Structure 1
Amino acid sequence: MQLIYDKDYNYRLGLLQYLHPFEGEKFSQVLSMVNDLGLSVISPNSMVSEETIDEYLNELMRLKVRNKEFVFRALEVPKIPFISFNYLHKKILKPMRLAVAGTLLGAERALDSGGVMWNLSGGFHHASYQFMQGFCIYNDIAIAHQQLIKNGRLSTDDKVLIIDVDAHHGNGNAFSFREQTNVHLLDVYNEDIYPLSGFTREQVDFPVPLTSGTLGEEYLARLSSALELTDSDYALAFIVAGTDVLAEDKLGGLGLSVEDVAAREKMILEHLQKHKIPAVVTGGGGYSKQSAKAVSAAIRACASL
């Protein structure tokens, strides 16, 4: 297993950090917590280009991602007149574009090695080519998938599995891949919270809706059953490993512990390894002070895979 990280993944938001509960600098915290494991750490050479992003977005979205009003709305923070688009681009959009490059790099390396790549950022599952929301501007998995096909690393006949274990339903992934029959989505989510889109929930191939307050034992049992429903012939898997499932998280509404999160990632990766499916783990959401601890615990649990 290799980690993918860059110091510029971190969101150094200044005043904006008080307007959203996302732990913007947890990526560096995670790296320091697992430094003793001696895992190889690689970085994307540069953030994904605007041309690559524009290939994925539709015409209206190309305009919206360059307009600070729409970006503020997607970030779920109030519009602040004195903050310029250039500031937003430097502090938020560039780190996100770097994370997109990290997910693409992880997919390429996973396909090369047949193993596991862990991108500490990414997992922007509320974005699509048609909308951005939920602190997600670009859909890194969809952009990576598109580029893998364009570059000949995958064909349109190759089956891809997205395992989304963030507390929130991955509506952006469900919308983006709704017409791609070879991309399957397994989504474990709190059905009582945002996003409540019935249309995108119906696009999930292996849905695992949970109720608020679900604890780790039930969560892991339901996940295990869902994993057994998937096929073994996927060319690649992406995992959205959000830590907003933690009991301490203000937004997820579930009741998992740090140990549960570590067991979850180990369960997923062992399942994929058993079937020889290369995998890319992405960060997903996490809105508590325990988020970095949970990610580091999961990496420790999976370090030997």
Structure 2
Amino acid sequence: MTTSTAAAPAAGALPVTSERLKKKRTRHVKERAIEALLFFAAFISVFTTAAILYVLISESVLFFQQVSIFDFLTDTQWTPLFADPHYGILPLLSGTITVAGVGLLLAIPVGTIIAVYLSEFASVGVREVVKPLLEMLAGVPTIVFGYFALLFVTPLLQRIFPDLPGFNMLSAGLVVGIMIVPYISSLAEDAMRAVPMSLREGSYAMGATRFQTAIKVVAPAATSGIAAACILGVSRAVGETMVVAVAAGMQPKFTFNPMEGAGTITAYIVQVALGDLPHGELAYQTIFAAGLTLVLLTLVFNILGYWLRRKFRETY
């Protein structure tokens, strides 16, 4: 009787162990499936980037077989659709950099100030109202911003500058700056809120005010995140299309004067892509050379942002 009683748990332990092994095997399969799904998502991102680069480079090689790279980088005229074609990218580059520069002169200080306010001074209620409104601003279609620049900002600027033409890079740049403020403010605010509270408490214990703590403690500690937000804003401004196509005009001109109209790389790509040029012609291949230039320009800014993040992380 004693033997059978002692043996009963041992016999009953087998189903329990088997059930545990079954659950463990099922969990292992689920984890493998999740890993495969995540790998597939990462692979799609890398594959898409590689495919874009392949298309741009392969078409650009055909373009540079007929056009000198030296002329492409030094000529100050961009008239590939004219009877006397010139293929200098400098006019498009100057327009792109000027519009992006005007936008960043507005967006970086305004976005950073908004981030400091939301992170260090705003109450919870104000933050819950202001931040969704900023994110909603980021969702407005860019074509709407373009007509806002053309029909509202330009006439407003013409009251201050009577000689300002209807198409100009100043109004386009200002609206691009307004458009990228939510990106910079949101990311910078997240970076500042990630700063440990112990740093703020230590600053308060030393007698610093809230403003001094925000400027001299929190902002330097979050510099890598703020720099990343600004670099993202740069990339967004450089790649903007519809605002500059509507408000800045699409006439390539080598100038850095924001009071004049000019064309940008993205505006030219839109202009040619919507035309009747057949695929394979030299004039059509110019959009791939211009697109490759834009990708390289964005890559330079991303590398600069990566270097800044590493530098400030080492410093702080």
TM-score category of the 2 structures, normalised to the smaller one: under 0.3
TM-score by length of 1: 0.25
Q: Which has the higher strand share?
A: 1
Q: Which has the higher contact order (CA 8 A, sep 6+)?
A: 2
Q: Which has the higher helix share?
A: 2
Structure showing greater Rg: 2
TM-score by length of 2: 0.25
